[in-house]
Structure 1
Amino acid sequence: MFKSIANYCKSCYDELVHKVTWPTRKELTQSAVLVLTASLIIAIIVWLMDIAFKAIMSLVYPN
């Protein structure tokens, strides 16, 4: 049993070290900036929708 666990761990290590193509620093930075920008845009859209729905609801249900 311990041999199979050791073989599994060794194969995982070999795959991560020798077979996986890791992104360069530039690619990683570009991807991170893209995700942050998209998240910010989506957050702004949701915020604007919230403001619009609040305005509509205040017209439908006035105080």
Structure 2
Amino acid sequence: MAGIVNYIKESFGELKNNVTWPTWAEAQSLTILVAVFSIIFSLAIWGIDTGFSKIITAYFKMING
């Protein structure tokens, strides 16, 4: 149990003293960038999914007559 407590203390010490945190402005701009790319990526996946769905539907209509 003491090993776990020591690990947690050291982890917090690393986060507080050794990690370089972004400024508030950097964090905001990076958050917006991630949101924009997430939306673009989700729209691309939706478009590909819709296209494949139409292709598969047309294929099955073609073989079933």
TM-score when scaled to structure 1? 0.72
Distance, in Å, in 1 between the alignment partners of 2:5 and 2:56 is 62
Change (3 A) 1:22 1:61: same
CA positional deviation for 1:10: 4.7
CA positional deviation for 1:49: 0.7
Aligned match of 2:59: 60
Aligned match of 1:16: 15
Q: Structure 1, residues 1-22: CA drift from partner, whole Å, max 9, x if none? A: 84x6666555434322222211
The one-letter code of the counterpart of 1:45 is: A
Count of residues in Structure 1 that have an aligned counterpart in Structure 2: 62
Distance, in Å, in 2 between the alignment partners of 1:56 and 1:8 is 54
Distance, in Å, in 2 between the alignment partners of 1:46 and 1:9 is 40
The one-letter code of the counterpart of 1:22 is: W
Change (3 A) 1:55 1:17: same
The one-letter code of the counterpart of 1:21 is: T
Structure 1 unaligned segments of length 5 or more: list them. Answer: none
Pairwise CA RMSD: 2.2
Distance, in Å, in 2 between the alignment partners of 1:55 and 1:9 is 52
TM-score when scaled to structure 2? 0.70
